[in-house]
Amino acid sequence: MVKDLAVALAFIVAMSSVAVADTARFTVVYGGKNIGHLVAETNDGETHIDYDYKNNGRGPSMTETIGLDANGLPSAWTITGVTTFSGKVAEHFSRKGSRAEWIDSTGKGAAIGKPSLYIAQSGSPWSDGIYARALLKAANRQLPALPAGVLRLEKGEALTVQGNAGPVEVTRYDLSGIDLTPETILLDRNGELFAVLGSRGVPSGIILVRAGYEGEEQRLRKLAGDWSNERLIDIEHEVAHHYAGPVRIRDVRLFDPKTVSLTKPVSVLVQGKEICAVEPLDSRPTPGEATIEGGGGTLVAGMYEMHAHLRSSDNALLNLMAGVTMVRDMGNDNAVLDRLVQQIEDGGLGGPHVVRSGFIEGKSPFSNSMGILVDSEDQALDAVRWYGARGYWQIKIYNSVHPDWVPAMAKEAHLLGMRVAGHIPAFATTDQMIEAGYDEITHIDKFMYGWVMQPSEDTRAISQRLVITKRLPDLDLQSAKVQHTISMMADRHLAIDPTLAIHEWLFLSRNGQIPPGDVDYFDHMPIGWRRDALNAPIDTSAPGDDKVFQAVFEKMLATVRMLHDRGVFMVFGTDLGGSFTYHRELELYQRVGMSPPEILKRATFDSARYLSQDQRMGSIEKGKLADFFLIPGDPTKDLKAIKTISMVVKDGVFYYPSEVYQKFGIRPFVSAPGTTEAEPAKP
């Protein structure tokens, strides 16, 4: 009897535990496709989270356990798993009384004082809901953060969403202080997380939405874009300077791509969208001019980011502030890019000019959801024609396109006046794609795989790519197979888009260390951005891996140097969002034998000529578009000078980065030049 009673009581306790458990389920959606999940189960004040998604064969896989105190602040937080590129995560935070301690990829940290919101280094989007609920209870919706900074929450509009469980009233909130741009989330009436529409560490366009409401993804994604644009339109009104009359930029030297050197000091005059004159320094100004003092600095024509994925208005403006006045978009949601380009061209948003590449991907478990997905040669040819009819400059072929379709695709693209670029599709080699009709190869790693991979190896899986990549240090670059491919590139006058910066970031980043490419601007960035930067993208902890991956990058540099020495044309692109990383991309070409003047010429005039735009862009001359930037130093002697931009002009609109960066939580690098407004012309 006693035994039966004990069993019954145990059953009641167990059922009580089940009764207090609360499970929230979310779907990760990209381009209308469900690509992952987040499940959060809360029991007795502790939440267990399973978070996983895969797009383009890669994505994070995390488990979390979170405990909150009575005020909703994290008191315990453990995160384990792998990042998008398989880097290992083992993060732990705890707080007892006034003392907080944590350990993450940077090492150990501690703080004593008033409880603050801990900003997890590798937290899932669920963390945004935790931050928001805590901030809703705080005075002015503001709280100090750990390891540093201040978080703020701003309330937006309410809307009704529809799904399997019926209509739900949700409210938009913008969470700022973590990254360069606010994180946009939706909370229901109970303050519970409904959706995350833009979050640190999650690629633009991917959203997290409550399970059963996936049908709202397209609407929510459009709203997120609209809200971001509204914010950037407001910023544009504040920071874009339009001058009614001529603007004289005096005492500047110009980078001249014809002589690959700087001119003597001159004055440059801008009227409307164009450069109307380049005059001797002692030329007298005319009535009605505004004057900008160049202070003996250097004017450089706007640069070309040749491997962009321009998915947001934030990214567009930040590229412009880096002196990038033209991007070649290498794949996107076509409708999203159309809207963004139109807003830039209409003058509502600040951003570079855009040349579009038509992204074509085959349907497979590894598919990237951008552009147009096809599963036959006929569909692939229809996609080529679709892009040709809309004026795209080239098509870009991606990983899951069947290699047998490529010759017909390339032939059709060339017939329609488009170029052909792309990855090397799975189970194909660079040599085969050159024979099939490629004009340009994308990424140096894809270019090299065919020399070391086995025919059966699938390069669409990130884990398999890393296995193949680790063979590169032993590759003999003088071998017949290597020299044959390089000769094909040189003899056929093909181009390559190496994207060196992304490979440096991937193979040389180490946990707790500032990545080599971020050193010059790391301290200027917000706390969340810095925490992400210190988290290595891949795991290099296995014995020997650290040196192997360093050797991998050196072999890539040696290959690019060999291509350059053979006269193969390099285009400079990052695949990392451009902006600051574009400056690093340029720096790296010094390691393959290019001089700073040669690099500047390639980034400006040569790229303009490659895109058939050199009649209007690429150099600072009378009659060309007023697209250029001002720096204090001499970039022909020290390329790092391009990192201290004091003014950017695009289509005759003047921007001062010191004003813009404050809107993104970035500490400015240099002050704006002195400006004198125009005096009214006398009758």
Q: Which amino acid does the sequence have at 328? A: R
**Residue 13's pLDDT band (boundaries 50, 70, 90)?**
very low
Rounded CA separation 516/512 (Å): 12
Lowest mean pLDDT among 56-65, 428-437, 664-673: 56-65
Contact predicate 146/117, CB 8 Å: yes
Backbone angles phi, psi at 604, to 5 degrees: -120, -90
**Residue 8's pLDDT band (boundaries 50, 70, 90)?**
very low
Rounded CA separation 369/363 (Å): 9
What DSSP line would sit under 441-505, residue for residue? EE-HHHHHHTTT--TT--TTSHHHHHHHHTTGGG--TTSHHHHHHHHHHHHTT-EEE--HHHHHH
**Residue 427's pLDDT band (boundaries 50, 70, 90)?**
very high
Q: Where in the chain is the domain with CATH 2.30.40.10?
A: 243-302+618-683
The fraction of the chain above a pLDDT of 90, given in percent, is: 84
Rounded CA separation 682/581 (Å): 48
Say what the pLDDT of residue 524 is: 95
Rounded CA separation 181/174 (Å): 9
Rounded CA separation 602/564 (Å): 12
Q: Where in the chain is the domain with CATH 3.20.20.140?
A: 303-617
b/e code 338-362 from CB counts within 10 Å (16+ = b): ebbbebbeeebbbbbbbbbbbbbbb
Class of domain 303-617 as given by CATH: alpha beta
Tens-place pLDDT, residues 280-332: 999 999 999 999 999 999 999 999 999 999 988 999 999 999 999 999 999 99
b/e code 456-478 from CB counts within 10 Å (16+ = b): eebbbbbeebbebbbbbbebeee
In the three-class reduction of DSSP (H, G, I as helix; E, B as strand; rest coil), residue 426 is classed as coil
Say what the pLDDT of residue 178 is: 87
Say what the pLDDT of residue 84 is: 86
Strands 107-112 vs 440-442: parallel, antiparallel or unpaired: unpaired
Tokens of 76: 């315990």
**Residue 12's pLDDT band (boundaries 50, 70, 90)?**
very low
Instruction: For the domain covering 243-302+618-683, report its CATH number.
Output: 2.30.40.10
pTM: 0.90
Tens-place pLDDT, residues 579-608: 999 999 999 999 999 999 999 999 999 999
Say what the pLDDT of residue 679 is: 60
Rounded-to-10 torsion of CA 469, 474, 478, 483 = -20
Say what the pLDDT of residue 680 is: 53
**DSSP bridge partners of 186:** 172, 195
Helix and strand counts by DSSP (H, E) for the chain: 18, 33
Is the pLDDT at 538 greater than 60, yes or no? yes
In three-state form (DSSP H/G/I as H, E/B as E, the rest C), the secondary structure along 501-518 is HHHHHHHHCCCCCCCHHH
Q: Which amino acid does the sequence have at 18? A: V
Rounded CA separation 62/76 (Å): 16
- Cis status of the peptide bond prior to 280, with omega within 30 of 0: no
Say what the pLDDT of residue 408 is: 98
List CB contacts of 126: < 8 A, sequence separation 6 or more: 38, 40, 47, 49, 51, 64, 66, 193
**Residue 7's pLDDT band (boundaries 50, 70, 90)?**
very low
Q: Identify which of 310, 307, 312, 361 has the alpha carbon closest to the alpha carbon of residue 332.
A: 310
Rounded CA separation 478/497 (Å): 22
Question: To the nearest 5 percent, what fractions of the chain are helix, strand and coil?
Answer: 35, 30, 35
What integer is the mean pLDDT of 553-564? 98
Tokens of 39: 């499940």
Rounded CA separation 429/426 (Å): 8
